[in-house]
Amino acid sequence: MEWDRAFIPTLRDDPADAEAVSHKLLVRAGLIRQLMAGVYSILPLGWRVCRKIEGIIRQEMDAIGGQEFRLPALHPAEIWQQSGRWDVMGDEMFRLRDRREGELCLGMTHEEIFATIATECRSYRALPQIWYQLQTKFRDEPRPKSGLLRVREFTMKDSYSLDVDRAGLDRAFQLHFDAYRRIYERCGLDPIAVEASSGSMGGSESIEFMVASDAGEDWIAFCGACGYAANVEKATSVLPELEDAAGPDAPEEFATPGVRSIEDLAGFEGGAPAERQIKTLVYMADDAPVLALLRGDHPLSEQKLADASGANALRPAADDEIRAALGASAGSLGAVGVDGLRVFADEALRGRTDMCTGANRDDAHLRGVSVERDIGVDTWCDLREVQEGEACPQCQSPLEVKKTIEIGHIFKLGTRYSEALGATVQTESGESVPIVMGSYGIGVGRVMASVVEQCHDEQGIVWPVNVAPYEVVVTVLNPKEVETSEAGRRIYEALQGRGIEVLLDERDERPGVKFKDAELVGIPYRITVGPRGLKDDKVEWTRRKAGTGREIPLERAAEIAAESVLEERR
């Protein structure tokens, strides 16, 4: 491709609304343009990158036995209602009605659709299967931001494994885990695999692939000593043991005028430090109030509470809902003597005695509370969010908490969708059993943006060869000079003949403009052809990543470039 014929609308200034590096550079380098909030047009250079990422994904999915599908993005409501997710997905699902008033939605994911197709697998002999597609998904994000990192329309590779038993699911899960590792390596990424919550997807186990970035919205706990890693929605840690006094035989109420917070009670005469308080939070789980109890100095992970409660919808209770449930306002709440509400208590409270908590009367608290004696806990579970510096659950080294971007997520779904949608097979013994499913996703745009987050400098993008829109740019400094132009074109044509993806820049622009554009766009290699070098039959060979160039013989320029590119391709 010749640069002056290509559509590469580079910009000198960052877009005003961009915060993430990838957002700024993908717009400035002419790879994407925003149509509206959370919706982007992919321009020719961006599409070349996406196609390369998709090609890598297809190669690795085919290598583990995957078969590619193309399923509809427009779905009937009935199939989502059958699985129980029509209401679970809430406002993030785009919903519409057709001319006959039939309820429809735009697909956020395709578990239900693939499970329906799986009903045609009637015998165990038809399994195992791995099915996948690269398809557009739609999610009505409440706060689309950061360019391609949080959008409302995006391309995702979603794949699904079908097996007759859990052992088969384990094998398929490992096949996908290994394939994802290879995909990311070939794209120039080195993500951390972390334990994660399965959320609305359901299932017994899930793993996220995360890359560290300030542009991310997910936090992970990571141990540099042993490699333990988990999303903070799933992470655990080891806490120092605390010794409690036995306390009185029954809780004692005391007045706490004006005390409205953990900090207020810690500083109140006769109160207690935060680690000796019971924090009581009221949440609405599927419109029913529940109590979450934690140590006063521990933050709640809402996802952990959602997982523990099994709620499809979870939110903090409003002031009037709190008073209706417990008879007091926030700041004076407790679970002592409470009946009729489900109580979830964090494991860090198990066995604690002589604690303080609200009395469910404004301006009053209780001291001397023994948790297991005085509170009817329905479910003991891990509710707290891990903090930086706490001890790793595997080796007790201090944990780091990092901000990350999720670039892939794999799930062991089990039989949730096959049972709901009637996807069963007959075993060798004649028994009818639901198909055991796994689900595995990669966002193509997120991978592209994450590569830019990881691979850039002050001048622009630094693409790895495998996903670069072009591998080499031949920059002709004085295209009006016949000998220079002809030399540049000979190199260009020779590279094309060797299968190298090359841009020829013969624009009537200053050399500095051409160099800046090539660096901004991030082409991995540049051959600079100028009259001065040609006097000695030399051209300049520059590797974008290194940022330095050297002279090479004109007659060997295409050969050297091709060898370098082919060596870097994996």
Are 20 and 146 in a shared domain?
yes
Q: In this structure, what DSSP letter does residue 123 have? A: B
- Evaluate if residue 379 carries a pLDDT over 60: yes
Q: At what angle do helices 482-497 and 557-568 cross, to 10 degrees?
A: 40
Q: Is 330 exposed, middle or buried (0-12, 13-18, 19+ CB in 10 A)?
A: middle
- Cβ-Cβ contacts under 8 Å for 249 (sequence gap 6 or more): none
User: Would you mind telling me the total number of residues written for the chain in this entry?
Assistant: 570
CATH of the domain at 317: 3.90.960.10
CATH of the domain at 197: 3.30.930.10
User: Which domain covers residue 544, as residue numbers?
Assistant: 470-568
Are 446 and 487 in a shared domain?
no
Are 480 and 545 in a shared domain?
yes
Please tell me the predicted confidence (pLDDT) of residue 548: 82
Any alpha helices (H) in 359-466, and if so which ranges? 371-374, 416-421, 444-454
Please tell me the predicted confidence (pLDDT) of residue 194: 92
Please tell me the predicted confidence (pLDDT) of residue 196: 83
pLDDT digits (tens, 9 = 90+) for 101-149: 999 999 999 999 999 999 999 999 999 999 999 999 999 999 898 999 9
pLDDT digits (tens, 9 = 90+) for 494-510: 999 999 999 999 999 99
pLDDT bin (cut points 50, 70, 90) of residue 198 is low
- Evaluate if residue 203 carries a pLDDT over 80: no
Q: Are 518 and 543 in contact (CB under 8 A)?
A: no
Please tell me the predicted confidence (pLDDT) of residue 197: 74
Please tell me the predicted confidence (pLDDT) of residue 561: 93
- Look at the chain and report how many structural domains it folds into: 3
Separation between Cα atoms, residue 231 and residue 305, nearest integer Å: 15
Are 285 and 341 in a shared domain?
yes
Q: What are phi and psi of 288, to 5 degrees?
A: -115, 135
Separation between Cα atoms, residue 552 and residue 41, nearest integer Å: 40
Separation between Cα atoms, residue 39 and residue 32, nearest integer Å: 10
CATH of the domain at 482: 3.40.50.800
Question: What does the pLDDT average to over 67-86?
Answer: 96
Q: Is 319 exposed, middle or buried (0-12, 13-18, 19+ CB in 10 A)?
A: exposed
Are 308 and 434 in a shared domain?
no
pLDDT bin (cut points 50, 70, 90) of residue 336 is very high
Report the run of H or E that residue 104 belongs to, with start and end. Answer: strand 103-106
Q: Does 417 fall in a domain?
A: yes
Q: Does 94 fall in a domain?
A: no
Q: Does 329 fall in a domain?
A: yes
Are 65 and 145 in a shared domain?
yes
Closest by CA position to 147, among listed 52, 24, 42: 24
Separation between Cα atoms, residue 91 and residue 140, nearest integer Å: 7
- Evaluate if residue 200 carries a pLDDT over 60: no
Q: Does 527 fall in a domain?
A: yes
For 191-203, letters b (16+ CB in 10 Å) and e give bbbbbbbbeebbb
Are 224 and 171 in a shared domain?
yes
Question: What does the pLDDT average to over 424-437?
Answer: 95
